[in-house]
Amino acid sequence: MGPGCAVVLLSGGLDSTTALAIARSERFVCHTVAFDYGQRHDVELAASARVSRHFEAASHRVIRLDLRAFGGSALTADLEVPKNREPTDSIPVTYVPARNTILLSIALGLAEVLGTGHLFIGVNAVDYSGYPDCRRAFVESFERMANLALKAAVEGKVRVTIHAPLIEMTKGQIIRRGMELGVDYSLTHSCYDPDDQGRACGACDSCALRLRGFAEAGLIDPVRYAVRTASGS
């Protein structure tokens, strides 16, 4: 007998896809959820559905949420996505206010309906853009809060556990772990600003982190880039 059901947040990017592969390897029956929160393209949602099918998830849902109603991010408003940004300590404009708090909260409601307290999220606090809601302190605090919020938790029927299996891995380690689990990274999509053919820009923070990860792993990224890159195909 396996550990039961889990809800997996699946953007269709490299990290969440690897988190799904890890959840499957731990024998969870996975229900995947993607969010249509007004991010600027549908390539990401298509990747999410593709990856969910590939891993034979028990269900896949797309939940619509109009975060454009308040904007405040290059991913949800008409701001320019920064390219070829030098790594700094500051949190970039691609930060979406309260994003992981909002997405985990909705996934939490779904988990309760499905009768589970297990959630998987592919956050990572090593090779990341410095978003505060990707750090372990946030994840642990969310888990404590969730155990006070849910009827099923308060009644002792479930215990909320936020699995963040990638949180202390480098991007190269994530890719190597995914490869061991048979992840086909050509199904995934990471770029914040793809062209009209869905090809990655190769220059935004997300592409830069991904390409550095493939370089670190000594592998070639199988996704298509609009430009020639050192570690891309």
Count, residues near a copy of itself per rule CB under 8 A? 45
Question: Cα(42)–Cα(46) distance, rounded to whole angstroms?
Answer: 6
**Minimum distance, C-beta of residue 205 to a copy of itself, in the bound complex (Å):** 15
- Closest CB 5 distance from a copy of itself, rounded Å: 13
Neighbour count for residue 168 (Cβ, 10 Å): 11
Whole-Å CA distances, 57 to 6, 71, 191, 204: 10, 32, 24, 30
Least CB distance from residue 227 to a copy of itself, whole Å? 30
Binding mask 77-116 for a copy of itself (x = CB under 8 A): --------------x---xxxxxxxx--xx-xxx-xxx--
Interaction mask 123-162, a copy of itself, x per CB under 8 A: --------xxx-x-xx--xx-xxx-xxxx-xxx-------
63 binds a copy of itself (CB under 8 A): yes
Q: Name every residue whose Cβ is closer than 8 Å to that of residue 145 and which is 6 or more positions away in sequence.
A: none
CA distance 169 to 111: 26
Instruction: Check: CB of residue 201 under 8 Å from CB of residue 36.
Output: no
Which residues contribute to the site for a copy of itself (CB under 8 A)? 61, 63-67, 69-72, 91, 95-102, 105-106, 108-110, 112-114, 131-133, 135, 137-138, 141-142, 144-146, 148-151, 153-155
